[in-house]
Every structure is written in C-alpha cells, then in structure tokens.
Amino acid sequence: MLLEVGRVLRPHGLRGEVVVEVVTTRLERMAPGSVLECEGRRLVVEGGRQVPAKAGPTGRWALRFVGIGSRDEAEALRGRALMAEVPEGRDGTGGLWAHEVIGSEVVGTGGERAGRVVEIEANPASDLLVLDSGALVPMCFVTSQQPGLLVVDLPPGLLEL
C-alpha cells in the first residue's frame, strides 16, 4: 500500500531539483537512496535539504531525483503527489496512520456515535478528524483505536452544531 508523503510544488533552479511540500513526519523518506513513487514512476532521492517556507509550516524540501536533470523534467512533476510504501509494523510512537483512520466509526467513551471519518485535516495544534456529519474532532481526543473504530473522550458540547 502506498501513502502520500509529499507533493511537488515547483521546479527549483535549472538542474532538475524540485520543491516538495512534505506531509509526513518520517523525514528519512527525503534521505538519499529513498524510493518514492509518482504516478507509477519510481523516483530515487539523490539528495535534498529542508528549505524555509514563505508562510505556514516549514515542511518544504528541495529534492533531486536520479535521472531528473533539467528544469523541463522537474516541471513535469509539478503538482504531482509523491508516494511511499507503508512501513512494516509500528515505529513505537503509538501514532495513528491515515489509511487506518479514514472510514473508521467514531464513538464516545460512553458508546455514543459521533460519525465516520471522511478525511483528516492538518491543524498545528492537533490534526482534525473530519466526520461525515461535518463535525471536526481533534485527534488528541482519541483514546483507543481498533480496526474500523476510534474511541474519543470529548468535552461536553463539542459535537453540537
């Protein structure tokens, strides 16, 4: 299974480097030798460095890929998602993976149904679970997870629209 780890924003310079908005906390995916996929094409990271963003989070990297040596080749990647294989097993952080959360039923600690997760919205304080009801639930309120089910401990009134 592949997960999105970044998106190419634009070419950078004349020698094939691109600026990537990174959406993963696993920054080893930007290291030389890492393999990313882009619309069925295998891209091997040749080198890269983190670059400051003009606004918002600083999750941007300038990357070079083996075989991409010109601005025109880099331009062809503009706007494309970069994907990577799901790592085997857990990394010990206890974090939740997006592919495990999307589609899960969300219930309160007392068993009350809150909705089904349709997407995850990035938020500096805590990423938000977007529910099919339109409600937003901070991920920091998740107390346990089982396949297809998230239990949340919500403050009173959070789901009242």
Domains and CATH numbers, the chain: 2-85 (2.40.30.60), 98-152 (2.30.30.240)
- The pLDDT-based confidence of 89 (bands split at 50, 70, 90) is low
Distance of CA 45 to the CA centre of its chain: 18
Q: What is the pLDDT of residues 94-130, one digit of tens each?
A: 567 767 788 999 998 888 888 999 988 877 777 889 9
Looking at residue 139, the DSSP 8-state letter turns out to be G
Collapsing DSSP to helix, strand or coil, 45 comes out as: strand
User: Residue 72: enclosing H or E segment and its boundaries?
Assistant: helix 71-75
- The pLDDT-based confidence of 68 (bands split at 50, 70, 90) is very high
Task: Please state, in angstroms and rounded to a whole number, the distance separating the CA atoms of residues 137 and 101.
Answer: 13
Give the number of C-alpha atoms closer than 13 A to the C-alpha of residue 74, restricted to the C-beta side.
21
The pLDDT assigned to 62 comes to 95
Q: What is the pLDDT of residues 24-66, one digit of tens each?
A: 777 888 999 999 999 999 999 999 998 876 654 447 999 999 9
Judge whether 27 and 13 are in contact, CB under 8 Å.
no
Of 77, 88, 85, 92, the C-alpha closest to 38 is 77
